[in-house]
Amino acid sequence: MGISPEQFDQRLDAIRSRLGTQGALVTEIAEQVFQTIFDMDTDRALELMTRDDEVDQADLEIERDAVDLLERASQGGCPLNPQQIRALLSAVKVNNELERIADAAADIAFRVVSLGDRTSAFPRTTMVMTNSVVGILRDSVRCFGENDAKRAKRVLSAEGTVLEFYDVIVKKSEERIADGRLEVAHAFDLHSIIHQAVVMADHCTNIAEQVIYQVTGAIVRHTNAGWVEHDLGGGESE
């Protein structure tokens, strides 16, 4: 059974609404997981590991709805404009990025459990870094919900700050290992945690790329010279 362009938009809006809920859930999980690092709350970390299942279930349902929508549109010969096609493609990709962010959060929770009741203090920059990642995640979810390409570009530019924090933490960790303030085993888990934080930020930039693609039709890619936009006609702009 086919659908009309108007029905397509209605179902697409429903998918995007569910993605908004999914984004809020993933942001909540990420924020709470980061807090368990500093509270050394292994019980809470264990609970948050199981919440990844909620994200996985929603991910599958959204994926099914998107495939079904595309199938109905194709069966009925529904005339879709480029904006509608880009919106559906972007929704599917954003859904995938959110699921991967939740996976990274679950891995961090696992590391918190592994650390247990540690006595070695992490560098203070660790909290600054994780707070930055939560802020980027909130902005990426918001720019998707509002189709805000300008905010999406700010998300892209913020990734560099997270990478700078990563480098600082690694250096500080090496110093603390050398003078005995940080155990080697704890440093290993810290490195895994901040690596996953970088992964989360990277997935956020992928969401931002999809927002820009949906709104403007431009494909954004990162190069050694920075973020570059390529239009579908082959041109590009800084």
pLDDT digits (tens, 9 = 90+) for 171-201: 999 998 999 888 888 889 999 999 999 999 9
Residue type, 199: V
Say what percent of the chain tops pLDDT 70: 92
CB atoms under 10 Å from CB of 115, counted, come to 22
226 DSSP assignment: E
Give mean pLDDT, residues 9-18: 96
How far, in Å, CA of 80 to CA of 124, rounded? Answer: 51
What pLDDT does residue 235 have?
39
CATH number of the domain bearing residue 22:
1.20.58.220
Give mean pLDDT, residues 19-46: 95
Full DSSP string of 140-190: HHHHHHHT-HHHHHHHHHHHHHHHHHHHHHHHHHHHHHHHTSS-HHHHHHH
What is the number of structural domains in the chain?
A: 1
What pLDDT does residue 54 have?
95
How far, in Å, CA of 56 to CA of 28, rounded? Answer: 15
What pLDDT does residue 224 have?
54
Domain that holds residue 38: 5-237
Q: Are 109 and 49 in contact (CB under 8 A)?
A: yes
- Condensed to tens digits (0 to 9), the pLDDT of residues 80-134 reads 898 999 999 999 999 999 999 999 999 999 999 988 877 677 888 999 999 999 9
Q: Is the pLDDT of residue 41 over 50?
A: yes
Say what percent of the chain tops pLDDT 90: 71
Q: Give bridge partners of residue 226 from the DSSP assignment.
A: 223
Q: Is the pLDDT of residue 28 over 90?
A: yes
What pLDDT does residue 117 have?
76
How far, in Å, CA of 172 to CA of 185, rounded? Answer: 15
Residue type, 95: N
Q: Give bridge partners of residue 220 from the DSSP assignment.
A: 229
What pLDDT does residue 236 have?
41
Q: Which residues contact 68 (CB under 8 A, 6 or more apart)?
A: none
Q: Which residues contact 51 (CB under 8 A, 6 or more apart)?
A: 25, 29, 102
Q: Is the pLDDT of residue 48 over 70?
A: yes
User: Phi first, then psi: what are they for 78, rounded to 5°?
Assistant: -70, 120
123 DSSP assignment: P
146-206-201-52 Cα dihedral, nearest 10 degrees:
80
Pick from 2-16, 129-143, 172-186, 214-228 the range whose average pLDDT is largest: 129-143
Q: Is the pLDDT of residue 237 over 50?
A: no
236 DSSP assignment: E
What pLDDT does residue 2 have?
73
What pLDDT does residue 20 have?
97
Give mean pLDDT, residues 155-169: 94
Give mean pLDDT, residues 38-53: 93
What pLDDT does residue 115 have?
86
Q: Are 164 and 61 in contact (CB under 8 A)?
A: no
